[in-house]
Structure 1
Amino acid sequence: MPTRTFHVIFNANAGTALATGITETALAEMFASNGLTATIDADADRPMQERIEEALAGPADTIVAAGGDGTITALCGPILGTGKSLAILPLGTVNALAKDLRIPLDTPAAVAALAEGVEQQIDVGEVNGRFFLHKVVIGTIPGLAAGREYIRTMPGVSPKLGFMRYVFRRLQRTRRIAIAIDADDKGKPRVERVQAVAVASNSYDEGFGRILARERLDGGTLTLYVLKRLTFVDFFRLASGMLLGRWHQDQALDVQSVGAVTITSHKGLLKVMFDGEVETLTTPLHFTIHPKALTVLALPPLPDTQAPADEAMRA
């Protein structure tokens, strides 16, 4: 079997990279110490698109996203159909896809894991020509996420307490939005007044501590989560239900598996949380799924009797 080669696109501004002070030199030493051949691109002054094009044109068979979920999503579309695979060094704040793939969150361990990584084909979601790997959310949640990003790099406890006050104020003032949902283009779209809607690639699991975790990444479906309301009572009930592993049947939530869905609003633009990044998209939003379209490096499957080691981290 030929030796795998890596081209690493390093985002030094990602959450964990900033917190731990990981440098280009440190990354290069980690790869070398594990006997891995890698080119490290840490040039943040160049446009991301230019850096990605250089990686795809190079000889490496595996492109490594060394950053957060935003960096990973930026690489997804360009890699599709190239024959190259995607690997992840989780250096972000949430690292959702890395957790689903059981990639260690400790950077030296994640680099070492690349040596034993196995290729896995996973689904890719698409909305209005943009690819996503986890979920797209509209409604209340993107506003909360924007507040999280504002305090992310601020030191100390005070900004975190300020963020909690911000969350409670937003919950007090939040308003439902009117949207039309046309799932699988069947019949007349249903009109809903909702607090938030999430469209996820595959579905989130239930189970103790498995908060927004996915065991299956290649089921070939989208899952529609419609949050009809979000009072303080709903917030705490839903949060505790997620922690305890019983939330799909929550009275404030509708869950539906679909092959495609279109979401229409009277607003021409909607703020969304796009794989963890807050963006603005033009409506209507047309969602589809591309089954097993992306090749990623993941750890070998665990024996059926062995539980994932990072369940506590998920909670």
Structure 2
Amino acid sequence: MSINWFPGHMHKARKEIAEVMPQVDIIIEMLDARIPFSSENPLVPELRGDTPVIKVLNKADLADPAVTALWVERFEQEKGIKAIPISQQNPEQIKALLQLCNQMLPDRNLDIRGARAMIMGIPNVGKSTIINTLAGRTIAKTGNEAGVTKIQQRIRLDNNVILTDTPGFLWPKLSPASCGYRLAVTGAIKDTAFDYADIAIFAADYLLKAYPQQVMARYQLKEQPENDLALLDALGERRGCMRKGGVVDLQKAGSILITELRAGLFGPVSLETPDMVTEELQNAKLEEATRAAEKAEREKVRQQKAKKKYR
């Protein structure tokens, strides 16, 4: 199953960003530190040219610091990119972004014209909270759900930085398919666009492989569950998520797992690593090539049949 969410205002935001991006001096791209690749906007490499980019790995307090360090190293291998992990619980980290914007523009006379920055990111990545911290006042509407900001606005900040705020948006096709699941698990996709049991099974499978001890500690399990469904069954039994006949309600158990994962109750957890993503991209290319070859073969057979029919 693929998960996609691309309402109308996101299409509009995508077009507006593509129009404005060539006019800015620096891009601040907000990423979720738990899913740096899945939350990365494909428009940035397409349109940025030589424009410098600050990749802000927000919610770093919820992510595995060792994995976050690997992502920072990977991002900074590309010219003109600086990656910094931050937490909304540390305002000084956030305010340092303004100084970094100016540092990354050494050849510009900022006394004549301030740096023009654009901030962008997926829904519910914490962009509005960051803007309010930078401005020192409430400017952007915040909310613990996807799709709060829906219009573009410009804000003058300290250090002579003019910031263009953009609505959070996704892209029409999330690929590889696992990206859609990770975005749903972390809250970037509206809850009505997916099934909780479905994404909980995905999350449970990953957690058992990557963070088994943290799972067992959270649910006070003496033995590691055999698989994803066994974990949800154990969770459901302990939290009273039972249906008639003694069967665990996967929707309720799944909702608990996802809610607690989003809240960081398992401890620091990262849902993807650079090596994992590299392998997924390679597999996705192979699958796409296979589908293209199968489609070409079906078309060839169809044309052969058509020739025989009309001889």
TM over 0.5: no
Structure of larger gyration radius? 2
Name the structure where helix makes up a greater proportion of residues.
2
TM-score, L = length of structure 1: 0.29
TM-score normalised by L of structure 2: 0.29
